[in-house]
A and B are shown apart, each in its own frame.
Chain A
Amino acid sequence: MIPMNFLRSLSRAALVALSLAFAAAAPVARAQLTIEIVGGTGTAIPIAVSGFEGESAWPLGISGVVAADLGRSGLFRNVDAGGVVPRPARAEDVKPDFWRARGADAVVVGSMQAAADGRVEVRYALVDVVRGGTLIATQFVVTREQFRATAHRIADEVYEKLIGHPGVFSTRIAYIAKQGSRYQLVVADADGAEPQTVVSAGEPLLSPRWSPDGTRIAYVSLEQKKPVVYVQNLATGGRTAVAAFRGSNSAPAFSPDGRKLAVTLTRDGGSQLYLMNADGTDLRRILSSPSIDTEAWFMPDGRSLLFTSDRGGSPQIYRVGVDGGAVERITFDGSYNVAPRALPDGKGMVYVRRDGGRYQVATLDFATRQTQVLTAGPLDESPSLAPNGQLVLYANDSGGRGILNAVSIDGRVKQRIVSPALDVREPAWGPLAR
């Protein structure tokens, strides 16, 4: 009953908490972003996450993070689980009538116990108290440092079991934070925790793009007084200028296998599409046109690219094979359609369109050519899809400062992520944790 009831709300899934705590990045002021639900609140699965037995032995527990993840998703509503004696710790301890009376449809219980080797054994269960039945019962043995990751993993599992899509609580996001004249590429957990500055520069940074395995980020920097494409290894911090040719180098996009990088170069005249190995070798040109060709984005099968071109007289989105060849026009409606990002299932895309002077994030279904506008504008940009395809992060401006926003793929739930002190833009959602 739970899953069926909420299939309708699948698209509101993954409204992942973006209470971005920009704390760790040293030069960035400690400033907490908070989430405002702007619209689309509706039915959510009422769930009770009971405090885990034995949890109080550690300063940072797990159940609280699980409850927070689920609650911020917009698809769950937390039901008070306190004051229950004895506290349920296993699936068989859960009395469905009791929890239904509290208004819960599902209950998470668990326990934490020190293991002999110094690690901690974490058990948890998800119980459907409407139909009855244990949906999940599992355990992990983890270190103290893995508590948060374990909590996100539990939230992912609960989310997937009840919603039907992979959860994205264990993923990471990247974004550009501007403070004064400094630009920082920041990587943080999807709930905003543990932000880390990957690059700090005195010139603009833009276009962060994750490698599919989450180990590298490609981005554009103006540090050399011109756009140069870098690929940075997140583990080592080392970076390579993979495209620093004469002219401008921009718009990097990783292939789905992580081996190739599509870029826009002007080295041969005009902004044109090229393909190279992700280390910058084996450069070859994809297309040759007298027009602007840029913003390449790989389709999930890796065989073709979406891109933006003004070859038709105005910026529109097209598709071409990675080896060039025939070009297919994708957008026809309106005079400005840019920034294509393919949906994970390859059946459509998210993009930015201009309508009457307003720049809005929209989706397009390739088969039906149907468009749905997700946002109101006026200056929405840089959409980035969650890896489960259910949520779009994007940037716009509020009071002269850049802020991030999230909208569900059906446009029904909108969240605004605000901070009193930060100027943020260019969000990029990382891949699913492996």
Chain B
Amino acid sequence: MNRPDRLLAVAALAVLLAGCQTPQSGQTGAPIENRAAAGAAGAGSGASTAGAGGAGVAGTQTPGRAGSAGTSGSGGSAAGAGSALRDPASILSKRSVYFDFDSFVVKDESRPIIEAHGRYLVANRGARMTIQGNTDERGSREYNIALGQKRADAMKRMMTLIGAQESQVETVSFGKEKPRRSGHDETSWAENRRGDIVYSGE
């Protein structure tokens, strides 16, 4: 006997009606992503980009090596010319970029930070960084891993567009797993919707 069929029947009519009223454009309530920007981001990611990194190999038994090949292999490369990275007066000391709810669109106010780091990568070809995407606590853990990844990818794309090399930037996502603030309010959520720039060797 099929339980779900009968159970679901209870809500059938109401849902059908709701479905009719709101076809797939039912974006009610949620802050809206900029789909144009999303499309642009998608175009970039559609092309095989980081495949040449050679970091992971199917079946690898050494996660330490494979897992951080993009970040630790060049340890110290950022340190030589890196004093600006630690100078509080330099824009390069700014490492966090913030995003709107459900969005991976880089806000105009964040562009100078990202572009400064992109120029740094261009000027320091030995420098390597990881961009870590993060999300607020709402929604699926796995989907948030993907959303955080899109945030990191969007930041990377701005850097490569001005000349940084693919191999200099690995983008990863922590999803909602490593919140900077633990509150359950918009202030905390806004702080946690974030991409962080971490140079290798730091």
Contact = CB atoms under 8 A, between A and B. Distances in A.
Mutual binders A and B: yes
Interface of A: 7, 10-11, 164, 203-204, 206-207, 220, 222-228, 230, 240-251, 264, 266-271, 276, 279-283, 288-292, 294-295, 308, 310, 312-316, 329, 332-336, 338-339, 343, 345, 347-348, 352, 354, 356-357, 359, 363-365, 367-373, 379, 381-382, 389-390, 397, 400, 409-411, 426
19 contacts: A227-B173, A241-B62, A245-B55, A269-B153, A294-B143, A294-B145, A308-B142, A332-B26, A333-B22, A334-B22, A339-B140, A345-B4, A365-B5, A372-B15, A381-B139, A382-B140, A389-B3, A400-B182, A410-B3
B178 A222 contact: yes
B143 A339 contact: yes
B29 A347 contact: no
A15 to B, nearest CB: 14
B83 to A, nearest CB: 24
B29 to A, nearest CB: 6
B46 A270 contact: yes
Interface in B53-71: 53-64, 66-71
Given A11-B3, A244-B60, A356 B172 contact: no
A251 B141 CA distance: 9
B27 A245 contact: no
Contacts of B24: 312-313, 316, 329, 332
B171 A339 contact: no
B9 interface: yes
A222 B177 contact: yes
A250 B144 CA distance: 11
A248 B47 CA distance: 17
Contacts of A347: 2, 4-5
A363 B7 contact: yes
Interface of B: 1-5, 7-12, 15-16, 18-19, 22-24, 26-30, 33, 35, 38-39, 42-51, 53-64, 66-71, 102, 130, 132, 137-143, 145-147, 149-150, 153, 170-175, 177-178, 182, 184
Contacts of A220: 145
A432 B128 CA distance: 48
A403 to B, nearest CB: 14
B63 A334 contact: no
Nearest to B153: A270
Contact of A264 (B53, B56, B142): B142
Contacts of B175: 206, 227, 250
Contacts of A227: 145, 172-175
A30 B3 CA distance: 38
Contacts of A224: 63-64, 67-68
A288 B46 contact: yes
B159 to A, nearest CB: 15
A415 to B, nearest CB: 18
A343 B140 contact: no
Contact of A368 (B8, B22, B46): B8
B33 to A, nearest CB: 8
A336 B139 contact: yes
